[in-house]
Amino acid sequence: MTVRPWRALLVLCVANFLVLLDTTIVNTAAPSIMTTIGAGLDDILWVINGYLIVFAALLIPFGRLGDRLGPRTLFVAGLTLFVVTSVLCALSPQPGWLVAFRVGQGLGAAMLVPQSLVLISAIFPANRRGAAFGIFTAVAGIASVAGPTLGGLLIAQFGWPSVFLLNVPIGLAGIVGALRMVPPIRAGGVHRFDVVGVGLISVCLIGFIYALVESGSAWMYAGSALLLVLFVLWERRHPEPLVPFVLYRDRGYAVATVITFVTSYATTGFLLVFVLHTQNVMGMDAFSSGVSALPWTLALSAVAPVAGRFADRIDGRILLGAGVLVFAVGVFAFPQSFTWPLIAIGVGQGLAIAPTTTLALRHIPAERAGAASGVLNTARQIGAAVGAALSGAVLLAFSAHTALTVLSLTLLAAAPLSLFLTPHGGSDGPHRTEHQPAGHQRTVPVPSVDGETADRAGRNAAEGTQFPDPRRT
Contacts of 414 (CB under 8 A, 6+ apart): 258, 259, 262, 263, 324
Q: What is the rounded average pLDDT of the residues 193-218?
A: 78
pLDDT given at position 170? 92
First to last CA, the chain: 14
Q: Give the range among 4-18, 120-134, 175-189, 459-473 with minimum mean pLDDT.
A: 459-473
* 209-222 per-position pLDDT tens digit: 778 766 667 788 88
- What's the rounded Cα separation, in Å, for the pair 272 and 389? 9
Contacts of 44 (CB under 8 A, 6+ apart): 30, 33, 34
Distances (CA, A) of 190 to 86, 218, 239, 363, 428: 32, 41, 13, 21, 28
* 379-405 per-position pLDDT tens digit: 887 888 788 778 877 887 788 889 999
- Are 149 and 294 contacting, i.e. CB atoms less than 8 angstroms apart? yes
CA angle 366/171/348 to nearest 5° reads 65
- What's the rounded Cα separation, in Å, for the pair 58 and 137? 21
- Are 454 and 448 contacting, i.e. CB atoms less than 8 angstroms apart? yes
Distances (CA, A) of 404 to 14, 194, 291, 299, 395: 31, 39, 21, 20, 9
* 359-371 per-position pLDDT tens digit: 776 777 766 666 6
Q: Give the range among 81-85, 170-174, 184-188 with minimum mean pLDDT.
A: 184-188
- Environment class of residue 433 by beta-carbon count within 10 Å: exposed (0-12), middle (13-18) or buried (19+)? exposed
* Host H or E run for residue 179: helix 167-181
Q: Give the range among 17-26, 277-286, 365-374, 436-445 with minimum mean pLDDT.
A: 436-445
* 88-136 per-position pLDDT tens digit: 999 998 989 999 999 999 999 989 888 887 888 788 877 777 778 778 8
- For the cut 90, the answer to whether the pLDDT of residue 167 exceeds it is yes
- For the cut 80, the answer to whether the pLDDT of residue 339 exceeds it is yes
**Whole-structure pTM value:** 0.72
Average pLDDT, the chain: 78
Q: Give the range among 205-219, 221-235, 417-431 with minimum mean pLDDT.
A: 417-431
95 cis-preceded (ω within 30 degrees of 0): no
* Host H or E run for residue 262: helix 251-276
The answer as to CATH 1.20.1250.20 being correct for domain 5-194+240-425 is yes
- Are 275 and 27 contacting, i.e. CB atoms less than 8 angstroms apart? yes
- Are 21 and 384 contacting, i.e. CB atoms less than 8 angstroms apart? no
Q: Residue 368: how many CB atoms within 10 A of its CB?
A: 22
Q: What is the rounded average pLDDT of the residues 75-87?
A: 95
- What's the rounded Cα separation, in Å, for the pair 303 and 138? 8
Domain boundaries defined on the chain: 5-194+240-425
What per-residue string of b and e applies to 32-49 under the rule 16 or more CB within 10 Å gives b? bbbeebebeeebbbbbbb
Helix (H, G, I), strand (E, B) or coil at 2: strand
